[in-house]
Structure 1
Amino acid sequence: MDAAFILARNAVNVTYNDLPPVAVDMTKKDILDVLGTAVAGSAAPAAEEIAGLIKEWGGKQESTVIGFGCMVPSPSAAFINATMGHALDYDDTHDRAGLHAAVTVVPAAFAIAQRRGGVSGKEFITAVALGIDIVCRMGLASKLTLKESGWVYTPIYGFFGATAAAGRILGLDEAKMVNAFGIAYSQTAGNFQAIDDAVLTKRIQPGFASRAGVISALLAERGITGAQNSIEGDYGIYNVYHRGHYDPQALTSELGKVFEVANISFKPYPTCRGDHASIDAALALVRENDIKPEDVEEVTVSSGEMTQLQSHPLERKRRPQRIPDAQYNIPYTVATAVVKRKVSISDFTLEAIKDPEVLKMADKVSPRLVPELSRHAMEPAIVEIKTRCGAYSKRVDYPRGSPQNPMAMDELADKFRDCAAHGKKRMPGQQVDRVIQLVSMLDEVDDVEQIIQLLG
C-alpha cells in the first residue's frame, strides 16, 4: 500500500487528544514563530509586489493578508503569507530533515480556517501538527542531500503538508485526502537553483506550496481525483524526484504516536540554518574572550560539504549584492557576528550588506572543508579566530534553538515582538501581546480567526 493511503488515514483520524503534550506545546510555538516571521516579512522585497498583484486579481474576501490589511481568496492569502513567512529565512527548521516545516502549513491552515469559519484552537493545533509531521517525515525519508537531488525540500514536501492541514480543517475523508495528495503532487516543485542564484523565488517557492495545499484540498472536497500512489508509486514523488533513494520506514514508523513537530528547531538569527552553528561559535568566541574586530587577523570556519555551499563562490559571498545571498552566507554572517556581536533582522538590508567594516571582516573569513563533519542535513561547525593576541577555537554541534539547545516560549515571544517591530505596519504593543497570549492559550480559543485578524 502506498504511503499516501497511510498518511491520509492518519491525517483524517488523529484527534487532539492523541497529541502528546510536547507536540501541542511545540505546535503552538511554531504557529507563533511563523506568524512573527510573516509580519516581519511583510516589509521584505517581494511582499509588496505580490500583495499588489493579488489585490489586482480580486475575488472573494475570505482570508487575511498579514500586514496589508486586506482580505482575499484563501489560496491567495496562503500564497503571500507563506512567502512573507519565509522571506527573512527566519522560520523554523527540522534539522535532520533539512527543511523548514511550518511555513507552508500554517498559512494554508489559517487561510482555509477563515474560509470555513468557526475553527477552534484544538482543531487548528491538530491540523497543523499533522501537516508538519508529514513534511518532516517526507524529509527524513529522503536519502539524498539537497545538493544531490537539486530539489528544495521545504516546498516539495510542503505541498503535501499544507494539503494535509487544509484537508483536515475542511473535514476530508480518507479517499478525498488521498486525492488531495495526488492533486498536490501534480503541482509539486521547488528547485535549488533559486538558492544558488540568490533570487527572490527562493522565498516564494513555499508560497506556491501553501497555495497549492489550499487548492488541492478544495478540489478534492468537490470530487476531483488525483494520483492515488503519489508518494511511492512507480511515478510517485520518491521514484521520480529522488530516483528511488528513500527510506519508506521513515514515512510511517510510529505514525500517530511520534510527532516530528517535537523535533523542530527555532531560529535566533534570520539566516539559513546551516549558518547558525558558525554564528553561535563566532559569537561565543568574541563575547567570552572580548575579541575586538581590529585585533582579528584571520577567521577559519571548518564544516562539512553541505555547509561549504554557503561559502562559495567565495568572492561573491564576501561581497553579497542581494539580500538572499547574504542570508545564505557563512563569510558575511560570521563577519557580522564578529563585528557587531549580534546577528539580527537589521543586518539584512541593502544598506547593511554594504557595511564596510563587516565586508572588511568578511575578507578575513575563510572556509575549510572537513569531510568528517559532513552530515545528511545540518552540520557542526568549528570557528577559529586568530588575533594579534592569540588564537581561539569553538565547536558547535547543536546551535541555539535546536531540541538539544532549545528556545523557551518567552524567547519566542521576544522574537515575535522584534518581528512585529520590523513589519510593514507597526503593531501597537497591546495588540502584539494579545497575539502572543492567544497563541499561548490556543487550545482554549473558540475561533482562530481572531488571531489572524489582529495581524491584518
Structure 2
Amino acid sequence: MSANAATLTETMAAHLVRTVDPASQQRARLHLLDWLACVGAARQSPIARKLAGERPIERAAWLGNVLEMDDVHRGAILHPGPVVWPTALMDATTDMATVLSAAVRGYEAVIAIGATFDARHYGFYHNSATAGGFGAAATAASLAGADAEAYVAALGLAGSVAGGLWQMRREPNDAKQWHIAHVVDTGRRAARLAVQGVTGPRAMLDGPLGLHAATCETPRPLVLGEGWRIGEVSFKPWGACRHAHPAIDAALELKRQGHLHGAIEIATYADAITFCDRPAPASVIEAKFSLQHAVAIVAERGMPELADFEPDSVASLAAARARISVREDGEFTARYPAHFGATVRSASGEVTLIDTLGDPERPMDRAAIIAKAHALLAWGGVSEPGIDAALAASLDSDSSQAARDWIEVWA
C-alpha cells in the first residue's frame, strides 16, 4: 500500500455513503422477515431460557442463528442477518426506510470485508464474528448519519478487536451465539464513539499489523460493485449447516427419481467435510452439522423438517446414517466458496448440483420465503396473530417500531 493510496476501510467508507435504492430496501424487508422468523422459532430453545433476564432485543441478538436457518453469503462464508438486524433495531430510530438503508449498508460491509478473508482465516476464525463487527459498525454508523470519516473510525475501532475462534465447534457450548451478540454490542459502540469524534486505525484490514496480516496467508481483494451485495445473499430452506445443503438438495432430487436407497455416497468440497463429516451426532447441533444425518433424513423421510434434528430423530436414524459415506471431490473444492456443490450417488443413480436451493442462481421466491417464515414461527409456538404481525412488521410497515414491538412480545 503506497503512502497516498486509500486504505481498504477508507475505500469501504466511501462506498457506504452512497444512497440505497428502493429495490435493495425491499430485498432487505425479506431478510428482516427471515431473521424475525429465526428468532421466533428459537424462542423456546435452551439458550433462550438461559437469557431470560436479558432485554428482548438483546435476547433476539442471540437467537437468530440458533436453529441454523439464518441467511448466508457463500463467498464470505458467513451469516449477515443475525449481526445486522439486531443492530438495526436496537436503537430508537423508527423510520423504516432509514433502518432498511442501514441494514443494506451493514450487509455490504460484512459481506465485502468477510469475502477478503482466505482459507487460513476460515480455518481458525468464525467469519460471522471477525467480519461481523464491521457489519454492525456500518449499520449503526448509518443510523447515526455518519459521514465517510466517521465510517472509517467506526470500522477501524470495531476491526481492532475482531475475533471469534472455531474452538467452540469442538465442544458443547453457547459461544457461537455469544460471538454474534458480542459483535452487535461492539459495532454499535464503535459507531457511537466514531460519530462523537473518537478515531480508529485507518488501515485496520491492510496495515502491516492489521487483520489480514494477522489472520490470512493470501487475503482476497476487496470487491465493491455499483449495486449492493445484499442481492447475493442466500436464504436457507432447511435447518442444517449450509455446508450440508448441497447434499440435501441432491439427495432430494435422487429420491424424486426413485434411486436414493442402499449404500449412499456423498462427494462434496473440503470445508463441507471439515465441518459436517459427523456419522454419529450426539446432539441437536451435531445433527445439524452432519452430512450423514441430513441425507439420512431425506432417504428415510423426505424433505427435512426441524423435528428431524431433534434427539428422538437423531437416535432413530442411526442405521440410515451407517450406510452413508462422504468424501471430498476436488472439482467442488475448486469452485468453493463461490459455489457450494455436491454429488449424491447410490447403486442405481446419482445427482450433481453446483448451486443449491435459496442461492441467487436458484432463488426462493417471495412466497417461499414467507412460507418458510410461517413454518419457523409456528415451530416456535407463535400464534397465528403473532405470525401475521411478523409479516406485517417486516413487509408492510413504514415504522421499524412494529418489528421492535413484535420482538418485545415474542422474543
Is TM > 0.5 for Structure 1 vs Structure 2?
Answer: yes
Match of 2:97 among 97, 117, 122: 122
Shift of 1:407: 0.5
Query: Unaligned stretches of 5+ in structure 1?
Result: 56-63, 66-76
Corresponding residue SS for 1:333: helix
Q: What is the aligned partner in structure 2 of residue 434 from structure 1?
A: 389
Q: What is the aligned partner in structure 2 of residue 81 from structure 1?
A: 60
Q: Is the 8 A contact 1:105 1:128 kept in 2?
A: yes
1:340-398 alpha-carbon deviations (Å, 9 max, x no partner): 102121122233322x2x11100111012221221332531000123xxxx12111111
Moved more, 367-376 or 85-94: 367-376
Amino acid at match of 2:109: I
What is the rounded CA distance, in whole Å, between the counterparts of 1:161 and 1:311 in structure 2? 27
Q: Does residue 1:399 correspond to 2:400, yes or no?
A: no
Match of 2:376 among 411, 414, 419: 419
Q: What is the aligned partner in structure 2 of residue 327 from structure 1?
A: 288
Q: Does residue 1:351 correspond to 2:312, yes or no?
A: yes
Q: Is the 8 A contact 1:275 1:310 kept in 2?
A: no
Q: Is the 8 A contact 1:278 1:330 kept in 2?
A: yes
Q: How does 1:251-262 map to 2 (within 5 A)?
A: 253-254=224-225, 257-262=226-231
Q: How does 1:109-258 map to 2 (within 5 A)?
A: 109-112=88-91, 114=92, 117=93, 119-144=94-119, 149-197=123-171, 199-243=173-217, 245-250=218-223, 253-254=224-225, 257-258=226-227
Q: What is the aligned partner in structure 2 of residue 5 from structure 1?
A: 10
Shift of 1:200: 2.6
What is the rounded CA distance, in whole Å, between the counterparts of 2:401 and 2:309 in structure 1? 32
Amino acid at match of 1:156: T
Shift of 1:197: 3.5
Shift of 1:275: 0.4
Q: Does residue 1:287 correspond to 2:266, yes or no?
A: no
Amino acid at match of 1:246: P
Shift of 1:29: 1.3
**Aligned residue pairs, count:** 401
What is the rounded CA distance, in whole Å, between the counterparts of 2:222 and 2:142 in structure 1? 24
Cα distance change on mapping 1:307 and 1:145 into 2, 3 Å: farther
Q: Is the 8 A contact 1:200 1:324 kept in 2?
A: no
Shift of 1:85: 0.3
Shift of 1:94: 0.9
Q: How does 1:33-52 map to 2 (within 5 A)?
A: 33-52=34-53
1:304-346 alpha-carbon deviations (Å, 9 max, x no partner): 211111443xxxx222112221111101111111111021211
Cα distance change on mapping 1:290 and 1:428 into 2, 3 Å: same
Corresponding residue SS for 1:248: coil
Shift of 1:145: 5.5
Q: How does 1:379-390 map to 2 (within 5 A)?
A: 379-386=340-347
Match of 1:370 among 324, 329, 351: 329
Q: Is the 8 A contact 1:310 1:330 kept in 2?
A: no
Amino acid at match of 1:368: R
What is the rounded CA distance, in whole Å, between the counterparts of 2:210 and 2:81 in structure 1? 23
Q: Percent identity?
A: 22
What is the rounded CA distance, in whole Å, between the counterparts of 1:198 and 1:141 in structure 2? 29
Q: Does residue 1:32 correspond to 2:51, yes or no?
A: no
What is the rounded CA distance, in whole Å, between the counterparts of 2:121 and 2:68 in structure 1? 17
Shift of 1:408: 1.0
What is the rounded CA distance, in whole Å, between the counterparts of 2:257 and 2:178 in structure 1? 39
Q: Is the 8 A contact 1:311 1:367 kept in 2?
A: no
1:221-253 alpha-carbon deviations (Å, 9 max, x no partner): 34433222222222222122214x223342xx3
What is the rounded CA distance, in whole Å, between the counterparts of 1:24 and 1:288 in structure 2? 40
What is the rounded CA distance, in whole Å, between the counterparts of 2:384 and 2:269 in structure 1? 43
Q: What is the aligned partner in structure 1 of residue 235 from structure 2?
A: 266
Q: CA RMSD in A?
A: 2.0
Shift of 1:413: 1.0
Q: Is the 8 A contact 1:108 1:214 kept in 2?
A: yes
TM-score by length of structure 2 reads: 0.91
Q: What is the aligned partner in structure 1 of residue 3 from structure 2?
A: none
Cα distance change on mapping 1:437 and 1:349 into 2, 3 Å: same
Q: Is the 8 A contact 2:340 2:356 kept in 1?
A: no
Q: What is the aligned partner in structure 2 of residue 102 from structure 1?
A: 81
Shift of 1:217: 1.7
Corresponding residue SS for 1:96: coil
Match of 1:360 among 302, 319, 329: 319
Q: Is the 8 A contact 1:198 1:325 kept in 2?
A: no
Cα distance change on mapping 1:97 and 1:437 into 2, 3 Å: same
Amino acid at match of 2:117: S
What is the rounded CA distance, in whole Å, between the counterparts of 2:181 and 2:301 in structure 1? 33
Q: Is the 8 A contact 2:85 2:103 kept in 1?
A: yes
What is the rounded CA distance, in whole Å, between the counterparts of 2:127 and 2:12 in structure 1? 18
What is the rounded CA distance, in whole Å, between the counterparts of 1:186 and 1:143 in structure 2? 18
What is the rounded CA distance, in whole Å, between the counterparts of 1:392 and 1:199 in structure 2? 40
Corresponding residue SS for 2:311: coil
Q: What is the aligned partner in structure 1 of residue 404 from structure 2?
A: 452
Q: Is the 8 A contact 2:158 2:190 kept in 1?
A: yes
Moved more, 271-280 or 135-144: 135-144
Corresponding residue SS for 1:302: strand
Cα distance change on mapping 1:145 and 1:417 into 2, 3 Å: farther
TM-score by length of structure 1 reads: 0.83
Amino acid at match of 2:176: K
Shift of 1:399: 0.7
Shift of 1:154: 1.2
Q: How does 1:57-72 map to 2 (within 5 A)?
A: 64-65=56-57
